[in-house]
Structure 1
């Protein structure tokens, strides 16, 4: 009994010691938490094996060429178009195949005059093969080949159209960045003016209404900063979607939106477009395919021949145990159906394909002409800004600002110069983007890049 009491007392002491030790550890941990500054908590967490580092989105740096390469690799619309090419190649394989032979096995018996299957049965085996005449297989192969060419040209045309879309989206991001930089420059500039004039107002050098006007102008520039940020985020989202990038990706575009003068030859552009535009290639291949289909439809007026060969073995209880070879020839008689309807449909298909080709050629010629004229007008506008208008607007604002600081201009003069400078610079950004947009449009209309 004494041993049990000593055992209980020992257990109680051990439990008490464990509780006291746990309490000390908990108090020490709370002390560390309370005494660790907010900025140093990350180091304390790392020291005990916890990670508190924020998520850093992946940065994707792309120039225009790299964006185009990534687009060609990952865009889902192009992947879907590629499947159409593989499907048309499958049809081309089918067109090359010969008709399968037909195997027949039969049993012939007489049941008259007391005959039975075992007495008069004959086993017949025969193989028949259809032979297509008048070049039907060749026309079918020719039609399928042109079909593949048409689908491949459609894929190239999808690359052409979507390539213009990706370039345009890329430059819309650059435009948003330029607008944001301009808005931030104007906001910061007027914020400094506001700070100086706040001091001047407190000393009684300017009226309160002038200070209010400057404050309102700062708010106006700040709203333009917010609008530019929103515009940039929307443009980046569209570009990420085209490039099939995660929304968490941070895009950094390295190509600058600089002016590059081009002076293309209109006559040469039109002839090049009619020669290499993928949609024209597709329409031409479709026309050749319809013509091959017409030749195939006319070939169906000639009936195909079926040749069969076989062997017949009569049962062992037959009168002479006869064995016979079989050879037959089957030819449909084209008395009624000479594929008159198929020929009419094929002729209409040729006419429709020719009309589609003519329409596409007319569209291409007009697209090239419109894009060329738009490029000339936008180029003229950009060069007018670069000839001195843009620099005049900036320098005028600076001159008026200095005059206002010396008391030689009013606050209304300063605000008017600021708005004029801002408007001119924004219009220049718009004109520069319009020029680049029209250049991309002309390249898309021609079907190739245009050198300077």
Structure 2
């Protein structure tokens, strides 16, 4: 006879499988994207940036080309009448260190390519930050208009009931209806702004974002913590983390003058110009062409086998590389002037970005600590006053509109602050 345990066991196993099995019909919530995750995604996926990075492979190939040596040539010189036959090799020997100087030029060009790639990364980072902030604030604006639609609809319903009871005039109901219609119109506009901002960020990420995709609030920096960092002493190395010293103006300028890609590229171009000048001067030294091989004389009675060696040198009479030497010398003077101009420009870019950063930080803090709490408090008081019959329906509607305008101003302050961070990053030449 079968034990009762065998009758219960299948049921128990079925329950366990149902409990631990994943819910097939349950929709998974997309993970929240952070700003740094979006930048990393764009760095990995953005084909325009990848195309800029591919220039590195071209530069490496140019180094390989510069290292290549000239191939020998097979030569044959036969005299039928004299019955002489020559078969040998001809090799051009580069004199004056031309190959070494050519390799140095190619390697410096490779370093310039790396600097250009860094500049492209900063541009991509700035673009992603602005597009990310635009989408985040657009989504917050949409939420704000959803709130005002819900609030005005609720106030309109209350006003219609109170107008039926004779507590308020018809004109207040009409005012509430107009406010409700305007809020729906603003909400629709905000919806299309979200769609446009999402498409803009998706284009930079080279990855479509779904309407359900949520964004984390873009990070900001605490002004008080940043101001506490003292400037470095003479000879002391710069700090690795700029987020700890983002408001130290003297340090920022010093850092920018060392790492800005434009300055680095200009310095490398100065080095490249000197190397090209050295290469042009070495090109004045002619190359040596050597030919050697067996020399066979097949005349009857005079058969003999000799060896021939022939050397040839260009005579630098007309072309002594005057043009390339003058060109590189003039370019060297131009780059020196450009370097001085760039240092002056970058210094004031850092000063302006630093000032805008502090101003945006203070404005953002004022919204968070004063304006938003006060506006929210006024809304609650206005709604209470209307419910108690102490004011008309327009009082809470106007208070709600003022609160929404304050929230929109706060969204604009977030955008301005993120733009200030981007400008400061660009001015310094690295991410904060």
1:92 aligns with 2:43: no
Q: Tell me, in whole angstroms, the C-alpha distance in 1 between the residues paired with 2:282 and 2:48.
A: 39
Q: In the alignment, what sits opposite 1:280?
A: 263
Q: In the alignment, what sits opposite 2:277?
A: 294
Deviations 1:154-199 (A, max 9, x none): 0111011111111111111110111111111111111111111111
Sort the Cα spacing of 1:224 and 1:278 in 2 relative to 1 into closer, same or farther, 3 A. same
Q: In the alignment, what sits opposite 2:9?
A: none
* 8 A contact 2:49–2:121 mirrored in 1: yes
1:188 aligns with 2:150: yes
Greater mean deviation of Cα atoms: 280-289 or 349-358? 349-358
Sort the Cα spacing of 1:208 and 1:147 in 2 relative to 1 into closer, same or farther, 3 A. same
1:449 aligns with 2:431: yes
Sort the Cα spacing of 1:369 and 1:448 in 2 relative to 1 into closer, same or farther, 3 A. same
Deviations 1:323-348 (A, max 9, x none): 22111221112222211112112222
Q: Secondary structure at the match of 1:104?
A: strand
Q: How does 1:20-419 map to 2 (within 5 A)?
A: 59=30, 61-110=32-81, 120-246=82-208, 249-250=210-211, 252-257=213-218, 259-262=220-223, 263=226, 264-315=247-298, 317-419=299-401
Deviation for aligned residue 1:61:
4.4
Deviation for aligned residue 1:391:
1.1
* 8 A contact 1:62–1:251 mirrored in 2: no
Deviations 1:46-65 (A, max 9, x none): xxxxxxxx9x9995642222
Deviation for aligned residue 1:246:
3.8
Deviations 1:180-222 (A, max 9, x none): 1111111111111111111111111111110010111111111
* 8 A contact 2:32–2:216 mirrored in 1: no
Deviation for aligned residue 1:429:
1.6
TM-score, structure 1 as length reference: 0.80
Select the structure of larger CA radius of gyration: 1
Deviations 1:230-277 (A, max 9, x none): 111111001111111147x44623422465424321111111112122
Deviation for aligned residue 1:146:
0.3
* 8 A contact 1:130–1:304 mirrored in 2: yes
Q: Secondary structure at the match of 1:256?
A: coil
Q: Tell me, in whole angstroms, the C-alpha distance in 2 between the residues paired with 1:84 and 1:258.
A: 33
Q: In the alignment, what sits opposite 2:406?
A: 424
Across the aligned residues of Structure 1 and Structure 2, the Cα RMSD in angstroms comes to 2.2
* 8 A contact 1:191–1:218 mirrored in 2: yes
Sort the Cα spacing of 1:60 and 1:357 in 2 relative to 1 into closer, same or farther, 3 A. farther
Q: Tell me, in whole angstroms, the C-alpha distance in 2 between the residues paired with 1:412 and 1:67.
A: 43
TM-score, structure 2 as length reference: 0.84
Q: Name the count of aligned residue pairs.
A: 386
Q: Tell me, in whole angstroms, the C-alpha distance in 2 between the residues paired with 1:449 and 1:334.
A: 53
Q: In the alignment, what sits opposite 1:7?
A: none
Deviations 1:98-154 (A, max 9, x none): 1111220121122xxxxxxxxx42210121211112221111111110000001110
Unpaired stretches in structure 2, ≥5 consecutive residues: 1-24, 227-246
Deviation for aligned residue 1:383:
2.1
Deviation for aligned residue 1:410:
2.7
Deviation for aligned residue 1:73:
1.0
Sort the Cα spacing of 1:192 and 1:84 in 2 relative to 1 into closer, same or farther, 3 A. same
Q: Tell me, in whole angstroms, the C-alpha distance in 2 between the residues paired with 1:178 and 1:62.
A: 15
Q: Secondary structure at the match of 1:333?
A: coil
Q: Tell me, in whole angstroms, the C-alpha distance in 2 between the residues paired with 1:370 and 1:287.
A: 28
